[in-house]
Structure 1
Amino acid sequence: MTMTPEQAYAFQETFGRLVANVEQVLLGKTFVVRLGFVALFSEGHLLLEDFPGTGKTSLARAIGQSVSGTSNRIQFTPDLLPGDITGVSVYDQRTGRFDFHSGPVFANIVLADEINRASPKTQAALLEVMEEGQVTVDGETHPVDAPFMVIATQNPIEQAGTYRLPEAQLDRFLLKASIGYPDHASTLRILEGAGVKAHDTTVPSIVTADAVLEMAQLARTVHVDPSVNDYVSRLVESTRSASEVRLGVSVRGALALVRAAKTLAAASGRHYVVPDDVKSLAEPVLSHRLVLDPESEFDGVTASSVIAQLLLETAPPSDRQAV
């Protein structure tokens, strides 16, 4: 079953209310806020990489508050252990059994603050739950509640005492985004509210957790023309043959781009994907999945610049079939 135009309009209306709700906290950053909800309704995870003080934690907290589900924050530190995230089995002397005590990852939206400060072993504790929505402790599997989303933050300039996220971990994130500094007008509005601390600012919940699941299910039914799939395939394949790239985008990355494009189309009030949806999401979906050649990195080449060049070189489809 394909999404109808009426369903697309209703999706757009709810999506717009959510974006407007978060923009009460994060001013002048509409595109990044939209990316956050694209990740949520695509049943994916979001990685925010930016300088300190740009509002990464505020964005994650506001997204969590907009959904009337459960949310937890995990402050990643070098001494954090995997069990501090997933939970542990504790022996109960009264029953003679081991009881599982769930960790903070058991929530609808989990903020993994400064994720690269934890050891690789602790980071790996998120691999299973981000991919499969479950946690295995002492041989027993415990599913997390749905919807489930991890919003992770990291600082790109401070490397002392941090551990770089491995490619397998980065590939678990549907989107990677940067917020950036606000423009002059937004800065003035922020300064007018300087008497209120950021963590004291809350936004009302707009949708329930069940509504998120329904919208995510609806987003899957957005029509994707075969020519758009071909465009995505050609774009992904071009990352593998680019001279600046050592490791290109996998099939998982191509699937992620199509899933995100479906959600963005619905958020724009359309029941079908257009090439512009793919173009606008190519950089946040694909760039963190590239492994650049060391010599190219030394010459100043970035993953974002590679994606931008490939978008110029890969011709989009000029027409589509009727839906």
Structure 2
Amino acid sequence: MRMQNERRPMSRRWFLGVSGAALLTAGCQDTEGKSESTGNTSGHRAVVPSGVLGANFNEDPSTMDFSMLEGLSAGWLRGFVPMPEIDKTPARQQAAIKTLLSAHDKGYGTVLSLKFPYNHRLMPAVDSADMDAELARVDKVLDAAMGKADILALANEPFIESLKKDHDDGTLNAFYEKVAQHVIAYRRKRFGERCRTRLYMGSLNHLDRPDWRTQATDRWMEFTRKTPEIEGVDTKVWQVIRQATEHPFPQRKWHDFLSMSPWFEDHKHFLRDQVQKFRDTGQLAVATYGVAQAPAMVKDFGPRKPPWLLNSLYSNLTVQEGEGGKPARSYGFFEDFRALQRAEDRRPVRTAETTT
């Protein structure tokens, strides 16, 4: 089976539309042993958001109430907190955070963005007292929202909310990288290896315009790609695959990546469907399918190389080994292949003699 590489960029700021079939844990567990409920009272299993269309109040939730969301049948809600407000109001009482915490308690999926308004003044250096003050504000937000918000975006619209000088000299990138590293460390310390709050870098605006595609946006995306705790940035499909060939992903991240490509998600049961069609003819003797990714599949992977490596039943070259050194299972095909195995085809195989 051959799968063509998708030519168009994934419509993905993995911030607003990260997707996946991997299950979330039942909640967060911090190092003190306190657990956080998922709010999943309906009995449905908690999944990674996929193709969600949510409601957005930006910074002012006073313009809406939950009856409006019920009228829309909306299940997700997003807002942002202007960080200077944290100096004036306790984080849990700040309007956007308070509303999203209430939405969480009602079972909504929630997205909280951090807005650092530096469009009228220079951003602080990462080793400055002003930077320390920003991180102190961040901690107050994290104390209130980490483990409750489903998605935390570490920026709102950073290139709009900053001065061009900070884009050009690297200050913007250094600032948000510092924020990201701080939040990652906080989440790891408080919640260990599992937390319901997923981290994203935020929105990059006007990327359709050449003058907005700069060294600063390149650095922004490169940092996101190389930081496994951050789950998103715009990127083309082949570029993500090449990253996985160079630095294999955790299995959940690889499955999330494949599932958020509508093309792959729509074809993940190709093996199951095609084998059934062959069997329905009554003429199929034996069909076989590739077991593992081979080095030739990943060598010099680029936009013109057929992505044969997506076909294999084990993602042994693009995904990190599992527990006990077991090779990683492919997304979709592995389980379908197992389900297609029939009792009469299993070992010991005894075929009848043929005439000579």
TM over 0.5: no
Query: 1 or 2, which has the higher helix percentage?
Result: 1
TM-score, reference length from structure 2: 0.31
TM-score, reference length from structure 1: 0.33
Query: 1 or 2, which has the higher strand percentage?
Result: 1
